[in-house]
Amino acid sequence: MRHSQMKSFPEYDLLIRKQKIPNKSSLIKFNVYLDKDNLIRVGGRLDNSNFPFEKKHPIVLQSTHHVTKLLFEFEHRRLMHAGPQLLLATIRENYWPIGGRNLAKKCYRQCVRCNRMKGKSFAPLMGNLPQQRLEPGGYAFESAAGVDYAGPVSCASRNGRGCRLIKSYIAIFVCFTTKAVHLELVGNLTSNNYLLALRRFISRRGKPRDIFSDNGTSFVGAYNDLSKFLKANCDSLAADSAQDNINFHFIPAYSPNFGGLWEAGVKSTKHHLNRVLGNCNLTFEELTTALVQIEAILNSRPLTPLSSDPEDLTPLTPGHFLIGRPLTSLPERNFQEHPITRLTRYQRIEQIRQHFWTRWCKEYVAQLQQRIKWRSCHYSLKIGTLVLLKEENLPPMKWKLGRIVEVYPGTDQITRVADIKTRNGVVRRSFSNIVPLLPEDDVSS
Q: Report CA 151 to chain centroid distance, whole Å.
A: 21
| Global pTM value | 0.61
Q: Strands 181-186, 164-175: parallel, antiparallel or unpaired by DSSP?
A: antiparallel
Cβ proximity of 357 and 140 under 8 Å? no
Closest CA to 69 of 26, 105, 93: 105
| Helical segments of 157-277, H only | 191-205, 217-233, 239-242, 260-277
Q: Give the C-alpha separation, 414 to 245, whole Å.
A: 31
159, 266, 286, 305 from 166: Cα distances, Å: 12, 21, 14, 40
Report the alpha-carbon distance of residue 428 to residue 255 in Å, rounded.
11
Question: Within a 13 Å sphere around the CA of 411, how many CA atoms are in the beta-carbon half?
Answer: 5
pLDDT string in tens for the chain (445-residue length): 888 888 888 888 888 888 888 888 888 888 888 888 888 888 878 878 888 888 888 999 998 999 999 999 999 999 999 889 999 999 988 998 998 999 999 999 888 888 788 777 777 777 777 777 777 766 788 888 888 888 788 888 777 676 778 888 889 999 888 888 899 998 888 888 888 888 889 888 888 888 888 888 778 888 788 777 766 765 554 444 444 577 888 888 777 778 888 888 888 888 877 776 767 777 888 788 878 877 887 787 777 665 555 555 566 677 777 764 433 334 455 555 666 655 665 555 555 555 655 655 665 556 666 666 666 666 677 888 888 888 878 888 888 889 999 988 877 777 888 899 998 889 888 888 888 887 554 544 4
Note if the bond before 315 is cis, omega within 30 degrees: no
Q: Which one, of 352, 350, 356, lies nearest residue 303 by Cα?
A: 356
Q: How far apart are CA 186 and CA 57, in angstroms?
A: 75
